[in-house]
C-alpha cells in the first residue's frame, strides 16, 4: 500500500447545508458531485461530503452517536496571519470557533473551528512544513 491519502469523506447530517458551508469558504464543488455526494478538489487529495447515515450503512457500522469523531482535518496556512484570516472566514461562513488561534506548544500558531457537523478543522502555520505553490505540504527530510 502506498503511503498517501486520497479522499477524506465526512459523514454529514445535512448534505445541502454542508455544501453551502464549504462553498461559503470559497471552495468549488466538482462537476463529479451529485445530489447524493459532493466532492471538492483539495490540493492533491479530495474532500467528500456524504450523508452520515448512508456512510455508516456503506461501512456496515452503526450510524448513531454524537461527540468528537476522533479525528481532525488540518488546513496548513502559508503565513501566521493567514491562520487568523481563515478562522475569521470560517466563522462568517457559520463555523463555531473551538479554539482561537494561539501560539502552539510545537512552535507554530494554530486554532480550531467546527463545521456544521462538528468536524474539527485545525488551521495552523508551521514554519517547518512549508506549503508549495500548488498547495502541497511536504514533511521535512
Residue 56: per-residue pLDDT: 86
Asked if pLDDT for residue 23 goes beyond 70, the answer is yes
Environment class of 6 (CB within 10 Å of its CB; exposed 0-12, middle 13-18, buried 19+): exposed
* Domain ranges, ordered by start, for the chain: 1-59, 72-134
Is the distance from CB of 75 to CB of 121 less than 8 angstroms? yes
Residue 134: per-residue pLDDT: 85
Average pLDDT over residues 48-55: 91
Chain mean pLDDT for the chain:
89
Environment class of 37 (CB within 10 Å of its CB; exposed 0-12, middle 13-18, buried 19+): middle
Residue 137: per-residue pLDDT: 85
- Phi/psi of residue 133, nearest 5 degrees: -60, -35
CA distance 86 to 64: 31
Residue 68: per-residue pLDDT: 67
For the question of whether the overall pTM of this predicted structure is more than 0.75, the answer is: yes
Provide CATH code, domain 72-134.
Answer: 3.10.180.10
Instruction: Give 113's Cβ-side CA count (13 Å radius).
Output: 24
Looking up cell 479522499, which residue turns up? 7
Same topology between domain 1-59 and domain 72-134: yes
Task: Give, in words, the CATH class of 1-59.
Answer: alpha beta
pLDDT bin (cut points 50, 70, 90) of residue 64 is confident
Report which of 89, 120, 119, 100 is spatially closest to residue 23, judged by C-alpha positions: 89
Amino acid at each position: 500500500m502506498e503511503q498517501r491519502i486520497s479522499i477524506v469523506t465526512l459523514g454529514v447530517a445535512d448534505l445541502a447545508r454542508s455544501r453551502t458551508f464549504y462553498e461559503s469558504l470559497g471552495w468549488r464543488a466538482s462537476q463529479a458531485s451529485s445530489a447524493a455526494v459532493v466532492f471538492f478538489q483539495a490540493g492533491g487529495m479530495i474532500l467528500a461530503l456524504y450523508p452520515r447515515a448512508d456512510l455508516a450503512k456503506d461501512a456496515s457500522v452503526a450510524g448513531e452517536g454524537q461527540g468528537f469523531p476522533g479525528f481532525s482535518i488540518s488546513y496548513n496556512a502559508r503565513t501566521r496571519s493567514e491562520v487568523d484570516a481563515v478562522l475569521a472566514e470560517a466563522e462568517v461562513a457559520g463555523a463555531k470557533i473551538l479554539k482561537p488561534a494561539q501560539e502552539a506548544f510545537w512552535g507554530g500558531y494554530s486554532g480550531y473551528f467546527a463545521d456544521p457537523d462538528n468536524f474539527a478543522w485545525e488551521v495552523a502555520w508551521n514554519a517547518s512544513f512549508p506549503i508549495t505553490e500548488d498547495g502541497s505540504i511536504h514533511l521535512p527530510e
